[in-house]
Structure 1
Amino acid sequence: MPDYFAPSGGHPPQTDLLTGRAVFTEAYAVIPQGTMRDITTSALPHWDATRLWVIARPMTGFAETFSHYVMEVQPGGGSDATEPDAGAQGALFVTEGRVALTIDGAAHALEPGGYAYVPPGAAWTLRAEGDAPARFHWIRKAWEAAPGLDPPDPIITSDAATPPMPMPGTEGRWATTRFADPADLRHDMHVTIVTLQPGAVIPFLETHVMEHGLYVLEGKAVYRLNRDWVEVEAGDYMWLRAFCPQACYAGGPGPFRYLLYKDVNRHAPLNLRR
């Protein structure tokens, strides 16, 4: 069973050095696990016994297409009025605890490694079950309609139930766990898990239109972001703007795995001046 990292808050002692690894640039940001403390949490209307870390949100010079929350819900807490935006779709990935999820009246139980896709306009609720807090990722994006395409159906699955797809020519050292069918063009975002075995590499500087959000679930690596090499470990978050060059060396001793968001399958919007 994978050991998914989840923040628990707290504060460092007064004796700690100020030096950290947080970086915010015009092309990328690195939000290390050590910044996810009690003082950096937020709250949401209509969510009981809940706090969250907002690690990406649309704003000038940062994420443009999505928001990403790391949620912490105490036992019995949650919401019966979860999503205020009827046009928003969501992806949930559980890292600790258990949640009871309903989507349009259908009940589902999610444990660590559990994944759910919630379509736009769906009515859904979530409650933490058991004796320990539930911690999970919630990625939100406004669904972009396209002619002839209806919104996607809900997806309930898990990391364990989804076989990873090896990248060609890598002998399985680099693989992607795809929760949605990549050929299904109803989806305008993909949330996947990328796994690199110790010593595996992304062997070229990827430079592409997709915006990325990467949360490191386990392991460590050195990541090339634009002009810089940055060390990252479990619990760190990276945002990469469109066309930011990127590559990676996985450091070991175990697998390096991250939860990845990217926008896909739509035309580039054109704001033409008349």
Structure 2
Amino acid sequence: MTYAFPPGGLPDQTVHPDGTAVFTDSYAVLPAVTQRDIVTSLLPDWKDTRAWILARPMSGFAETFAQYAVEIAPGGGSDAPEPNQGAQAILFVAEGSATLTIEGKEYALTVGSYAYVAPGDFWTLWNDGEGLFKCHWIRKVYESAKGIARPQSFVTSDRDVPPTPMPDCDGVWATTRFVDPSDLRHDCHVNIVTFQPGGRIPFAETHVMEHGLYVLQGTADYLLNTDWVGVGPGDFMWLRAFCPQACIATGDTPFRYLLYKDVNRHVAL
């Protein structure tokens, strides 16, 4: 299995700048072609690392999470990756290998690895391999709830978690759930959603959850509010609450994306 990641580099001077990038009141689309070297950031307390910051909390838009794509050169990494001790981290590996340490326990991350780092846990991440290490990183400040313990850190893999078919769809739509949906310790889910060619969301989902959707594989026509947008590997969609959404998978390979959503908490009044 291969997983998309920002291409970096820079288009040559023959390329016309017209494209499909869009920012609206209800959604944004950052196509892979926009994820170039000139929009990366260096991060404090990280060595030989650059990041594409794809989403950040914005008042009046999506307010609960930040989403990065992080590229670490051999020998690079961090002993202090997260500046906010109240934040939880979800890492998903697109390419390469690295060593993740959580509370002194080491984990070997490889392509397809998924790591959840609980708020308050001390963690480090270093690329001790020979090639670039590339991962997706979702950050969210944890929202505690009375009488519910905070979740525990864990590491698993896309290979080790079987997709769960969605009801009434003959298996063409499935979700890889790395966290049990009934586990109220978690205030967000980061899943992988898979559609077989021709599979679809057969209604316009309209709900309170915010989304970050990074296309890992395949192509689809995606409904965002009132607009149908063609998306493919490396494209990122950023949705505020209540933005209508649906999709129809196109092409001859599965359409897969990494999906963030906030769940399991009361709305602050």
TM-score range, shorter chain: over 0.9
Deviations 1:204-249 (A, max 9, x none): 0001110011000000000000010000000000011111101100
Does 1:194 find its partner at 2:198? no
Normalised to the residue count of structure 1, the TM-score between the two structures is: 0.97
What CA RMSD, in Å, does the superposition of the two structures yield over aligned residues? 0.7
The one-letter code sitting in structure 2 at the alignment partner of 1:112 is V
Q: How does 1:5-44 map to 2 (within 5 A)?
A: 5-44=4-43
Does 1:258 find its partner at 2:220? no
Q: Distance in 1 between matches of 2:223 and 2:264?
A: 26
Q: Distance in 1 between matches of 2:168 and 2:183?
A: 25
Does 1:167 find its partner at 2:163? no
Q: Say whether the 8 Å CA contact 2:22–2:29 is kept in structure 1.
A: yes
Q: How does 1:5-84 map to 2 (within 5 A)?
A: 5-84=4-83
Q: Distance in 2 between matches of 1:32 and 1:39?
A: 15
- Secondary structure at 1:60's aligned position in 2? coil
Q: Say whether the 8 Å CA contact 2:7–2:33 is kept in structure 1.
A: no
Name the counterpart of 1:106: 105
Change (3 A) 1:61 1:24: farther
- Secondary structure at 1:112's aligned position in 2? coil
Deviations 1:135-156 (A, max 9, x none): 0011000100100111101121
Q: Distance in 2 between matches of 1:189 and 1:238?
A: 17
The one-letter code sitting in structure 2 at the alignment partner of 1:27 is S
Q: Distance in 2 between matches of 1:248 and 1:18?
A: 26
Q: How does 1:220-231 map to 2 (within 5 A)?
A: 220-231=219-230
Deviations 1:86-140 (A, max 9, x none): 1000100000000100000010011010000000000000001211100001100
1:171 positional shift? 1.6
Q: Distance in 2 between matches of 1:168 and 1:252?
A: 23
The one-letter code sitting in structure 2 at the alignment partner of 1:193 is I
The one-letter code sitting in structure 2 at the alignment partner of 1:36 is Q
Q: Say whether the 8 Å CA contact 1:197–1:252 is kept in structure 2.
A: no
Name the counterpart of 2:115: 116
- Secondary structure at 2:41's aligned position in 1? coil
The one-letter code sitting in structure 1 at the alignment partner of 2:238 is W
Q: Distance in 1 between matches of 2:101 and 2:62?
A: 29
Unaligned runs of 5+ in 1: none
Deviations 1:46-88 (A, max 9, x none): 1000000000001234320000000000011000011111100
Q: Say whether the 8 Å CA contact 1:49–1:77 is kept in structure 2.
A: yes
Q: Say whether the 8 Å CA contact 2:7–2:32 is kept in structure 1.
A: no
Name the counterpart of 1:3: 2
- Secondary structure at 2:204's aligned position in 1? strand
Q: Distance in 1 between matches of 2:77 and 2:61?
A: 28
Unaligned runs of 5+ in 2: none
Moved over 6 A (4+): none
Deviations 1:158-183 (A, max 9, x none): 00000000001112100000001111
- Secondary structure at 2:57's aligned position in 1? coil
Q: Say whether the 8 Å CA contact 1:97–1:129 is kept in structure 2.
A: no
Q: Distance in 1 between matches of 2:182 and 2:55?
A: 27
Q: Say whether the 8 Å CA contact 1:94–1:114 is kept in structure 2.
A: yes
User: Please, which moves more after superposition, 52-61 or 259-268?
Assistant: 52-61
The one-letter code sitting in structure 1 at the alignment partner of 2:213 is L
Does 1:214 find its partner at 2:213? yes
Q: Distance in 2 between matches of 1:44 and 1:88?
A: 16
Q: Say whether the 8 Å CA contact 2:41–2:52 is kept in structure 1.
A: yes
Q: Say whether the 8 Å CA contact 2:62–2:241 is kept in structure 1.
A: no
The one-letter code sitting in structure 2 at the alignment partner of 1:200 is G
Q: Say whether the 8 Å CA contact 2:187–2:265 is kept in structure 1.
A: yes
Deviations 1:16-48 (A, max 9, x none): 111111010000000000011110000110100
- Secondary structure at 1:242's aligned position in 2? coil
The one-letter code sitting in structure 2 at the alignment partner of 1:213 is G
Name the counterpart of 2:155: 156
